[in-house]
Structure 1
């Protein structure tokens, strides 16, 4: 049995996989997708080249792991932001804000570019499905609002999020973009359930 460097085999495996993803990210940031080879990843992570395939099947799989690495934390942050609000309109605005806050953490732009340009078609489809699962959180809120065109409402709100994320990726100020997007969301949803300002 190989020597493990954690409290359990499962923890050891998780640590090794994180090391490999870290190494892949460093190589991608330094040299782009062309720099990502099995030998380079193994050398950067300090792992034997033939051992890395215990953790993924191909470099394409590793690319997908890099692109999707932040999805669980992103989805969790959005769900928590929604749960912290008590009205559907406030929850929709929270969905928008939370997505923009996650995008502003600094790695969304290059991960999105990597997804568009370097993933296989099947991996891109899996990434798209992750986005769909995130959008379902917004769809639940919109259904509670009883909007006459719920699917169109979700599509328009998601378009606001996507456009504002692009602005953040281009360097716009998070607070400014977030205030704009939240206001646009409330106006679109005819915000009757929020306190009125004097």
Structure 2
């Protein structure tokens, strides 16, 4: 029977998953995905080489669980910062700013190359997690259209376009924000880009 390193079994699981995710993020950052093994993750996380398999059957399962964990943290923080205003334009501005700033804190950039190495099932599981972030943006756009502060003909088509705009890290955040707001007709008289 494995040793429990916390006050309860649930606390032990939460702690173990946190250590595995931290180890995974560090190792992929240092070595890349291909050079990161389950044994290396276990060693860095301070757990037994075989114990990791009781929680994650393979490296793809670590990636999927990691993506879910990071997305949950990201969405919780995003909802918190968006709670400061009901104005859809200000919420979109906040969404864009948060996304651009949070890249340093959250490890959401698994990247298409890494995701492309995963099985179809694993990619679909990760895609389901991304849907939680899209749902936040979808509600902002729908509210903006309903309030007349945004002009969006195709909300579903606009979601990936906005997210594509948030990808280039070599552009100034203000340029990206201005472009996104103008793209949805939100940079009108009462909502100047600042």
2:115 equivalent to 1:116: yes
**SS of 2:142 mapped into structure 1:** helix
Identify the residue that residue 182 of structure 2 maps to in structure 1: 184
State the Cα distance separating 1:61 from its structure 2 match.
Answer: 0.2
Runs of 4+ in 1 over 4 A off after TM superposition: 147-151
Tell me if the contact between 2:20 and 2:41 (Cα under 8 Å) persists in the aligned partners: yes
**SS of 1:57 mapped into structure 2:** coil
**SS of 1:172 mapped into structure 2:** coil
2:130 equivalent to 1:131: yes
Tell me if the contact between 1:64 and 1:123 (Cα under 8 Å) persists in the aligned partners: yes
Higher relative contact order structure (alpha carbons within 8 Å, sequence separation ≥ 6): 1
Q: CA RMSD in A?
A: 3.0
**SS of 2:171 mapped into structure 1:** coil
Tell me if the contact between 1:88 and 1:142 (Cα under 8 Å) persists in the aligned partners: yes
Seen in structure 2, the aligned counterparts of structure 1 residues 121 and 20 have a Cα distance that, compared at 3 Å, is: same
Structure-to-structure mapping, 1:11-160, within 5 angstroms? 11-105=11-105, 107-109=107-109, 111-113=110-112, 115-144=114-143, 145-146=145-146, 152-153=154-155, 155-156=157-158, 158-160=160-162
Deviates more, 1:149-158 or 1:2-11: 149-158
Gaps of 5+ in 2: none
**SS of 1:137 mapped into structure 2:** helix
Tell me if the contact between 1:82 and 1:95 (Cα under 8 Å) persists in the aligned partners: yes
Identify the residue that residue 166 of structure 1 maps to in structure 2: 167
**SS of 1:49 mapped into structure 2:** coil
CA distance in 2, matches of 1:54, 1:158: 37
**SS of 2:154 mapped into structure 1:** helix
Tell me if the contact between 1:97 and 1:182 (Cα under 8 Å) persists in the aligned partners: no
Seen in structure 2, the aligned counterparts of structure 1 residues 140 and 25 have a Cα distance that, compared at 3 Å, is: closer
State the Cα distance separating 1:36 from its structure 2 match.
Answer: 2.4
Gaps of 5+ in 1: none
CA distance in 1, matches of 2:2, 2:115: 38
**SS of 1:166 mapped into structure 2:** coil
Normalised by the length of structure 1, the TM-score is 0.77
Deviates more, 1:3-12 or 1:147-156: 147-156
**SS of 1:34 mapped into structure 2:** coil
Higher percent of residues as helix: 1
Aligned residues: 190
